[in-house]
Amino acid sequence: MSVTNSGKITSEAITDCFRQTLDFVKKGSISLHFSTFDNSFCTLYDADVVAQEAKKNKEKIMSKLLKILFFITFFTSNSFSKDLIYSGFSLQGNFSYNSINYPYFSKIIANNNEINQRLFQLMRDNTNLIIQKSDDDDGLVVSFGLLTENTNLTEINEYVKNEYVIYPQVFIYDNKTKNYISSLSTRLSVATKTTLSDKLKNQELSFEAYKNVILKKDPTISFVDRCVEGGSTTTSFLNIYKILLSCIKFQDVSRFNLQVRNVDLGNSDYKNFSFLKNNSDYIPATKYKLANLVTAYTSHLTYNNQFLVLPHSKEQSIANVQNRFSDTQNLNIGLPEPDFVIDVLIKGVRKKKINEDEDEANFMYALGINYKILEPYSGTIIFDGDFKHFKKIQFAKNLENGNIIQTEENDFFYYNQLLGELSGDITKNLLTEKLNQDNKKWLKKHINDKNNYKKIIENHKNIVSTFF
């Protein structure tokens, strides 16, 4: 049997589609297609031939139906025009993680409500953003914040070159149910340069230069992102959140939920950074940082495609929000169960000096990982592959003594950078329906041998049959 509602999409058509779908699910045999992008709005197939598979995937089907029901609620109540409730600017994770996850940005917002105030004003001027007084008010709540911060401070003789890579995120949830609705992340690099003085003074100057860029109202930051018309623009830091918010499409309910479940440090040198070991939360904070980093790259590259990337953790720690939230340290957001999860094992990190002269030295940084996509309920492995990534980095030498100007903090930054880039490239090249020549060329460069290449090509068939 085939039931199709064609023509104009109405609330009655959506409700009818949902009712019929539910009836089929109760019978235990259904193959569901849900689309708002053509004239065939709802198509149900009497699927006796796939009855057994449907029973196995009952939880997935019900998850899809809940998404459809949410869409019905949105559509029929015209929620797109309802007010968004502002919950402030936030950082994720325990506050004890801040020194590792947000070593500099946490200082910007400490005892400083400027970002909150200006962000609210900016959004209020451009959207229907409000502040509600009651915790149980209806509406969608929007939270702005960062997933993590990756910092690299390098002394180059008479000056200090600083790079701060931050990952802005827009996070939306239902205020009444406290259920997650959607989120979107991006990547932003901020560079500053200051004159070298004594070490303490240098740190202060570097931080002030960074803070000035973050709080600057003028559009001085180069921002490359798929949410920007034309792909790139010059903007202010706070305006990036307006760009991300406008990019979120609430009606995309038919995508799979994907979540970065775990990043395992393995036996890698990630466990041996001495500058982090004075923090008792070193290991869990680092794993949290890396999971958020992989989440940001995955979210950024999959949002318009087949997947909706869930946050790594439902914990959202609030810093310096509006008065209504001033005594709130943690918002316990109810996240949906992921349809599929990503597990990453760091198999190793390495650096090797490849050449040098009297002025500088070149190092090769390398990172290897195992990357898995799994169905969390059964533990079924959808994809399993080993990858590597490498990059040449140049370091200056001290003009007085000829020593290479390099620190553990630099190593930590570049290993993090490699992990983010590699996870993003895996997303871009493999979470796709068909492998093109560019995808295959990338694979051959980032795998270990021909046997592994054949294995990954075979694994990709699982991705196609599962997601597309």
Domain ranges within the chain, ordered by starting residue: 2-76, 79-467
pLDDT tops 60 at residue 59: no
pLDDT category, 313, cuts 50, 70, 90? confident
Residues whose CB is less than 8 angstroms from the CB of residue 117 and which lie 6 or more positions away in sequence, other chains included: none
CA separation for the pair 248, 251 (Å, rounded): 9
pLDDT category, 381, cuts 50, 70, 90? very high
pLDDT category, 333, cuts 50, 70, 90? low
What pLDDT sits at residue 156? 74
Write out pLDDT tens, residues 137-165.
667 788 888 888 999 988 776 777 889 99
Whole-number percent of the chain with pLDDT over 90: 29
What pLDDT sits at residue 366? 97
Pick the closest to residue 84 from 246, 201, 226, 302 (CA basis).
246
Question: Among the listed ranges 5-19, 282-296, 444-458, which one has the minimum average pLDDT value?
Answer: 5-19
* Phi and psi torsions of 446, nearest 5°: -115, 20
Write out pLDDT tens, residues 194-235.
776 655 566 778 888 889 999 888 888 888 888 888 888 899
pLDDT tops 80 at residue 390: yes
SS (H, E, C) 284-337: HHHHHHHHHHHHHHHHHHHCCCCEEEECCCCEEEECCCCHHHCCCCEEECECCC
CB-based burial label for 461 (10 Å; 0-12, 13-18, 19+): exposed
What integer best gives the mean pLDDT of the chain? Answer: 76
The 10 Å CB-count burial string (b at 16+, else e) for 236-275 is bbbbbbbbbbebbeeeebbbbbbbbbebbbbebbbeebee
SS (H, E, C) the chain: CEEEEECCCCHHHHHHHHHHHHHHHHHCCCEEEECCCCCEEEEEECCHHHHHHHHHCHHHHHHHHHHHHHHHHHHHCCHHHCCEEEEEEEEECCHHHHHHHCCCHHHHHCCCCHHHHHHHHHHHHHCCEECCCCCCCCCEEEEEEEEEEEEEEEEECCEEEEEEEEEEEEEEEECCCCEEEEEEECCEEEEEEEECCCHHHHHHHHHHHHHHHHHCCCCCEEEECCCCCCCEEEECCCHHHHHHHHHCCCCCCCCEEEEEEEEECCCCHHHHCHHHCCCCCHHHHHHHHHHHHHHHHHHHHHCCCCEEEECCCCEEEECCCCHHHCCCCEEECECCCCCEEEEEEEEEEEEEEEEECCCEEEEEEEEEEEEEEEECCCCEEEEEEEEEEEEEEEEEECCCCCCECCCHHHHHHHHHHHHHHHHHHHHHHHCCCCCCHHHHHHHHHCCCCHHHHHHHHHHHHHHHHHHC
What pLDDT sits at residue 316? 42
Beta bridge partners of 5: 42
What pLDDT sits at residue 376? 93
What pLDDT sits at residue 30? 39
Stretch 89-107: mean pLDDT, rounded? 83
Q: Could you tell me if 93 and 288 are in contact, meaning their C-beta atoms sit under 8 angstroms apart?
A: yes
What pLDDT sits at residue 50? 39
What pLDDT sits at residue 253? 53
What pLDDT sits at residue 165? 92
- Label the pairing between strands 140-156 and 84-92: parallel
pLDDT category, 334, cuts 50, 70, 90? low
Q: Could you tell me if 397 and 405 are in contact, meaning their C-beta atoms sit under 8 angstroms apart?
A: yes
pLDDT category, 389, cuts 50, 70, 90? very high
Pick the closest to residue 28 from 52, 1, 4 (CA basis).
52
For 454, left (φ over 0), alpha (ψ -120 to 50), or beta? alpha
CB-based burial label for 323 (10 Å; 0-12, 13-18, 19+): exposed
pLDDT tops 70 at residue 250: no
pLDDT category, 86, cuts 50, 70, 90? confident
Stretch 277-283: mean pLDDT, rounded? 85
Whole-number percent of the chain with pLDDT over 70: 71
pLDDT tops 90 at residue 175: no
Question: Among the listed ranges 50-59, 72-81, 394-403, 407-416, which one has the minimum average pLDDT value?
Answer: 72-81
Identify which of 39-43, 47-51, 376-380 has the greatest average pLDDT. Answer: 376-380
CA separation for the pair 442, 426 (Å, rounded): 9
pTM of the model: 0.77
